[in-house]
Structure 1
Amino acid sequence: MTVIDKLNSAIGKAISWLTLLLVLVIVIDVILRYSLSITSAASFELEWHLFAAIFLLGAAYTLKEDKHVRVDVFYDRFSNKNKAWVNLIGGLALLLPFCAIAFWESLSFVESSYKLSETSPQPGGLPARWLIKSTIPLGFLLLGLQGISSITKSIIIISHGRKA
């Protein structure tokens, strides 16, 4: 297991606990809304902030575990070497360029939010919106690093015929 794999495993396992927190926030929100007619913009925003963090910061772990959704019409029947070729080409032609562009473009998005001290436009919403926006470049950085690890493993499989 590479350093990148270990990093993304640790982050993925830590982030997975946010799903429990998200469920609790939603349950409390629903109970308060329907039993006491209490609702708040902050609870709605916290729900989508948690979901965004889970999705963005968990994507690299999902790639590491090879659990991304794919249409396996042919891939399942491929040999390990052919799967490695698909992963290598897909990683180099699609994953890494997409991660690089998303990372680079999102930096100015976060910087602008930070400089403006952006907060929720809703009364009673969450402050420091740059915090959740910063998960965008961080998530794509982690995903790109995991892509590099996956590409390296594919090269090893192709050249040596064995798993990395």
Structure 2
Amino acid sequence: MTGNEEQQANHLQNAIEKEGDRAFLSRIFGWSMLGLLVAFLINNVLDVGYDYPGVFAAFGEAASAAAWLQVAICLLGIAAAVALVMAYPRRSLRYEAHLIHSFNVYFIRALYWSVFLVGVVDATLSFMRVESFIEPLMGEAAARNLARANWIGTWIHMPLIVLGFIIAYFTRTLGFVWLALLIVVAELLIVISRFVFSYEQALMGDLVRYWYAALFLFASAYTLFDEGHVRVDILYASFQRSKKGVINAIGTILLGITTCWVIVGISFNGKQSIVNAPVMNFEVSQAGPFGMFTKYQMAAFIALFGITMLIQFVSYFFDAVADKRGEPGHRDVDTSAAH
């Protein structure tokens, strides 16, 4: 967000604080979704990394203290949401939507920086493996380590991801445009190397697919904020703003948030789930050492898509309820291209 947008949001908050009721139930619902999301991710780490039995085990015959601890973590997530709403009883829905969206913007920006850094470094290492440059330059031990996906994932990818989050904190660019440009450049290099120099390696296609997946899956949440998703509209455009708010709020709960929870739930459903299993094993493509070691991250992109969309849908829900309540600060967006 720019400085002017921050000032506008703060001014809006100060103006709305003079009103009375702050839609407690809507705020508690929205923040509870985020609290449960954090709790769910913590429990997933406990399930996969420490062999905890899972929340549902607490209600079975083999209930244990570990399972009830995981239940307590979920309840703590909801309690934290309620405490937050009670601590700021006069905070406006618009302002909270702005806060949540701002965090999501940072999170997505950090993901883009991470995939950029990982993509460049991993493609370079893959090229060096294919052309047998690593051992002469770095030695036999380095060549052996850099041919192992788990070693690269732990000691190269993870630090680069952390670096991406640090860089994103000090930047204000989302990265949609430049990542799309990099994809075009990567595709162009494939065409030139294939048809001009008759040279092609698996890493080149892997890099394009890696960046493509990140571009579309991570851009989806910001597209929701910008009303860029296709809306099949027959009656909606003719509704008043308050009625649109009702429709958007109901649709967000029944379709948006529900769908996101299904995606996140399936993604992290035990050690052998579609995300946990590849990530735990640092899964690689069929090209093996001749390609990039990023397939496990592309599996994680599915879960990150659900997470970023869930966060954005909570922000969207707050804005929709604010429209229903007639709160000032409505953001007009040209949606003609999305209808």
TM-score of the pair, normalised by structure 2: 0.45
- Report the RMSD for the aligned CA atoms in angstroms: 1.9
Q: Report the Cα distance in structure 2 between the residues aligned to 1:86 and 1:40, rounded to whole angstroms.
A: 50
Residue deviations 1:79-126, cap 9 Å, x none? 212221221111110010100110121123222012222111124221
Deviates further, 6-15 or 78-87: 6-15
Q: 2:73 — aligned with what?
A: none
Aligned letter for 1:145?
Answer: I
Q: 1:60 — aligned with what?
A: 221
Which structure ranks higher in relative contact order (CA pairs < 8 Å, sequence separation ≥ 6)? 1
Q: Please show how residues 76-115 of structure 1 align to structure 2 within 5 Å.
A: 76-107=237-268, 108-115=273-280
> Which stretches in structure 2 are left out of the alignment for 5+ residues?
1-94, 110-172, 332-339
Deviation at 1:143, TM superposition (A): 0.6
Aligned letter for 1:39?
Answer: E
Q: Report the Cα distance in structure 2 between the residues aligned to 1:115 and 1:39, rounded to whole angstroms.
A: 30
Aligned residues: 164
* Corresponding residue to 1:116 among 275, 281, 296: 281
> Which stretches in structure 1 are left out of the alignment for 5+ residues?
none
Whether the 8 Å contact between 2:220 and 2:309 is mirrored in structure 1 is yes
Residue deviations 1:40-79, cap 9 Å, x none? 2211121111111111111110001111112233322222
Q: Report the Cα distance in structure 2 between the residues aligned to 1:91 and 1:26, rounded to whole angstroms.
A: 37
Percent identical: 27
Q: Report the Cα distance in structure 2 between the residues aligned to 1:79 and 1:37, rounded to whole angstroms.
A: 60
Q: Report the Cα distance in structure 2 between the residues aligned to 1:27 and 1:99, rounded to whole angstroms.
A: 35
Structure with larger Rg: 2
Query: Secondary structure at 2:228's aligned position in 1?
Result: coil
Deviation at 1:14, TM superposition (A): 2.5
Q: Report the Cα distance in structure 2 between the residues aligned to 1:148 and 1:114, rounded to whole angstroms.
A: 27
Instruction: Flag as ranges the 4+ runs of structure 1 deviating above 3 A.
Output: none
Q: 1:136 — aligned with what?
A: 302
